[in-house]
Amino acid sequence: MVTFDRETQVVDCRHGMGLGRGGGLAQRGTLSEAGHTDVVAVAMSPGRRHITKPVCELTYGMRKEGIQVSVLVLNTGSGEPNAEMKSGSFGISPDEVEQINRHKMAVIHTGNIRDHVVKKVREILKYAEVPAVVVTQTMVDFEDFAKIGTKTRLVKPQENNIQTKGKVMEIVTGVTRGETCPRDKLNELVKAVNSTMKSINHRGV
């Protein structure tokens, strides 16, 4: 149980034991569920490239602003999505999809290789039918996602190439892995999440 000013948020224990070393809060293959299923922060598996520090800071920043946030750390979040699912390649399990779909929206934290970022987000939203805010280190835009069949708020993929159930609503770039997240980026994320939640509550997505 965590108290921010006058508001208390309850965060349940993780869904299962961590399968890797994740620096305490975020370990591979785990879920930390908030009291309300509003937002789920989806993180890649911790490792040499994927450092969990930004995820922890982003989650804390959202909770401090009164946003109810669960945290899901994917079991196989490293590497690149691959139809053959070779060793070390990215993947998402039916259980993880179900955990994401219990929430109104997702915040997907990715890395610094553009091709990996857009393909990972597409793979998640192919099965998870939620609006999403993408947080990444590299510079990407709505066109990058739409080109490979991902639905987005501003750019539509070609009709014969729509590959996702979920939709990218907002993008926050410049969040560097392993470094302290600047205040302006936390503010940008909170604004993006609130804007997406407003769309959900008023119009549907």
In tens digits, the chain (205 residues) has pLDDT values of 455 444 544 444 344 444 443 344 445 545 677 778 899 999 886 554 445 677 888 888 999 999 999 988 887 555 556 644 444 566 788 999 999 999 999 999 988 889 989 999 999 999 999 999 999 999 999 999 999 999 999 999 999 999 999 999 999 999 987 788 899 999 999 999 999 999 998 876 6
For residues 132 and 116, give the distance between their C-alpha atoms in angstroms, rounded to a whole number: 17
By CB atoms closer than 10 A (0-12, 13-18, 19+), residue 84 is: exposed
Q: What is the pTM of this model?
A: 0.81
Residue 171 DSSP SS3: strand
Sign of the dihedral through C-alpha 194, 195, 196, 202: positive
For residues 88 and 157, give the distance between their C-alpha atoms in angstroms, rounded to a whole number: 29
Domains and CATH numbers, the chain: 2-199 (3.40.50.360)
